Structure 1
Amino acid sequence: MQIATVQTEIAQSRERGPLREIKIPPCPELLTRLRAAMALQEPDLSEVQAIASADVAMSATLLRVANSPVHLGDGAPCVSVGQAMTRLGLDATAELMTGFLVRNSIPVNSPHLQRFWERSSRRAMAMRLLVPKIPGLDPDIAPLFGLFCHVGMPVLLQSVRGYGATLVEAGARIDRPYVATENANHKTDHAVVGALVARVWGLPQPLMAAVRLHHDFTVLSDSQLEPGVAILVAAGLVADQMMRRAEGLKPDADWTQQGERVLDWLQISLTDVEEWTDQLAGIEEAY
């Protein structure tokens, strides 16, 4: 499979398949502007600051994080967006803004997806942590993948009758994969819908493909697939396991079945994952 194959699948499902009735929220204008400003060879700092200042709540988020004990240290509290950006750094600022804009574009008000965006943000942090540790992991796409990995779930919950019950059933069943239950009930799943969101929002193609394939570990041996996609999928499973360890949860079905294979493929060890989990806990203190 190649990225182009994934694109074709999503397009066909949208035109005449089960995705026809799925309502995709529009990409926020401020996010489009932010991505354009960050995509320049020399990111436009003035534009990023203007975008951050355009939303009072987003500005407050940046100031809150910049003034957290981890970032504040012995310094004076930040009182402006510009000061917060300087203290946090441009990449961290852009990631915080992206998370804020996505959360507010796809709200989740359901007991079936408690703490959804909190956990998505934590996954994005874990992916950022893994960038220098896993060769080939794209520093621009990895945190986005962490944030968008399961975005199909709230979209399905808003668009498809009975999907809440499917979430409960899929989480309880041990006889088949999560996405198998989704497909049995709705003829699509959160991986496909998440890829559609990425496509509609104009996000990077490797991200779109990785979201589509994040439960499909045959990508590790697929010589036709662009290597960056497989690395995202493998690193995503490691990030999820780090989160579960940090929360004191048992490994999920994907890790139980594929964890050892993924570790071997990435040439890392379980000890590495444990050490990185401790590092992740330290980063989370800032947020």
Structure 2
Amino acid sequence: MNTATATRPLTHAELNETLSAVRIPPCPSIVADVLREAQRDEPSMKVLSRIVASDVSMSAAAVKLANSPMFSPGSRVRSVQQAVNRLGINHILSVVVAVALRNTSSHLPADVMERFWSRASTLALAAGVLARGHVGISPDAAYTFALFQDAAVPVLMTTFPDYAALYTGAADHGYSLVQLEQEHFRCDHAVAGWLLARSWGLSDRIANAIRYHHDPEAYILPEKELPSDALALIAVSVIAEHVLGDYTHDAHAVGDRSFENAKTFLGVSDAEVDELHDTIAAALI
């Protein structure tokens, strides 16, 4: 989702209203286990491998990501242990959280969710690839943010019975999803996503980027409200989304203002965008 509407700091009352209206799913024990191990002074890759291997879906997702274009070419990994070693802690956490989130939305319309998660996964891979060329922007953080920037959409579908129709209507016609959400539900997936990220233990940088990724004024917000490292993640995702839109004909095409702001912030030229088209076409399409 990329259409934007003005964002301002939430008042205490508004935040409580959102918290009371939206049912944020509890963090699953397997996510808590991975977080606990990842936050140790010396995390054990063997322990992480054992946790991931305990879930068939997570095992398959880890191996698939380890063999994706985001990682250096070479021999294909075939075991969870190999995948964990290649991916590293941050990407393993992304895999575990992503699969856990998909599991919480298994009761939702399968066709809608398949398109949603396929789009999120493709965008995440594109953002990770693009971040490689920009000093100071972590590819794994770019991947994680792009994967979860819209993760509250299934949460809102679960909370509000008529949300799915609103979501698909916005997708089919290119309407502003955030504006429709605020009009109908008095909250939006950016705020709900921020709450979800905080509840599930994602970093403050990722949570802040999710909170403001639809804000048209994001590039002029003070550093204390939206740190530049979080803003960089938004910019990379916007450019990745713009590039992917040319291949997928996505109704949520990035607006010109958002795209130009992202290019300016990162110092990306039109020639570099053309090169990125070639990179994404070769790596992902």
Q: Same fold (TM over 0.5)?
A: yes
What's the TM-score once normalised by structure 2's chain length? 0.80
Counterpart Cα distance in 2 of 1:57 and 1:169: 30
Q: What residue in structure 2 maps to residue 156 of structure 1?
A: 156
Q: For the aligned residues, what is the CA RMSD?
A: 3.4
**Runs of at least 5 residues in structure 1 that lack an aligned partner in the other structure:** 1-5
- 1:284 Cα deviation from its structure 2 partner: 3.7
Task: Note the C-alpha offset of 1:40.
Answer: 4.1
Q: Does 1:82 align with 2:81?
A: yes
Contact 1:10–1:192 under 8 Å retained in 2? no
**Which digits, 9 at most, give the CA deviation of each residue in 1:28-63, with x for residues without a partner?**
222222233334454321111111211133224444
Letter in 2 for 1:29: S
2:255 alignment counterpart: 255
Per the alignment, residue 211 of structure 2 pairs with: 212
Equivalent position SS for 1:9: coil
Matched, 1:199 2:198: yes
Alignment of 1:115-126 (within 5 A): 115-126=115-126
Contact 2:198 2:204 in 1 (8 A): yes
C-alpha distance in structure 2 between counterparts of 1:267 and 1:40, whole Å: 37
Q: 1:137: how far off?
A: 2.2
Instruction: Report the counterpart of residue 4 of structure 2 in structure 1.
Output: none
Residue 32 (structure 2) aligns with:
32
Q: Which moved more, 1:132-141 or 1:231-240?
A: 132-141
Distance 1:12 1:200, change over 3 A: farther
TM-score (norm 1): 0.80
Query: How big is the shift at 1:247?
Result: 1.9
**CA distance in structure 2 between the partners assigned to 1:172 and 1:67 by the alignment:** 32
Once the two structures are superposed, what CA deviation does each residue of 1:124-158 show, in whole Å capped at 9, x if it has no partner? 21222133323332444322211111112111111
The one-character-per-residue Cα deviations of 1:234-287 (angstroms, maximum 9, x if unpaired) are 1121121122123244772x43232122212210023323322433344447xx
Which amino acid in structure 2 is aligned with residue 244 of structure 1? G
Separation (CA, whole Å) in 2 of partners of 1:19 and 1:196: 8
Change (3 A) 1:217 1:84: same
Identity %: 27
Contact 2:69–2:284 (CA under 8 A) maintained in structure 1:
no
Kept in 2: contact 1:242–1:277 (CA 8 A): yes
Aligned partners of 1:156 and 1:190 also within 8 Å: yes
Deviation string 1:200-240 (CA, Å, 9 cap, x unpaired) is 11211121111111011312122333111211221121121
Residue 141 of structure 2: aligned partner: 141
- Work out the number of aligned pairs and report it: 275
Q: Which residue identity is paired with 1:207?
A: I
Asked if residue 52 in structure 1 is aligned to residue 44 in structure 2, the reply is no
Q: Secondary structure at the match of 2:26?
A: coil
* C-alpha distance in structure 2 between counterparts of 1:77 and 1:134, whole Å: 27
Decide which moves more: 102-111 or 229-238: 102-111
CA contact (8 A) 1:191 1:212 kept: yes
Report Cα offsets for 1:67-122 as digits up to 9, x if no partner.
78999x895873x4224445x44355554444333322343732555511111111
Counterpart CA distance in 2 for 1:113 and 1:250 is 16
| Distance in structure 2 (CA, Å) of the matches to 1:279 and 1:21 | 42
2:14 corresponds to 1:13: yes
Residue matched to 1:222:
221
Q: 1:244 to 1:49 in 2, by over 3 A?
A: same
| 1:65–1:150 CA distance, 2 compared to 1 (3 A) | closer
Q: Is this contact kept in 2: 1:10–1:196, CA < 8 A?
A: no
Partner residue, 1:3: none
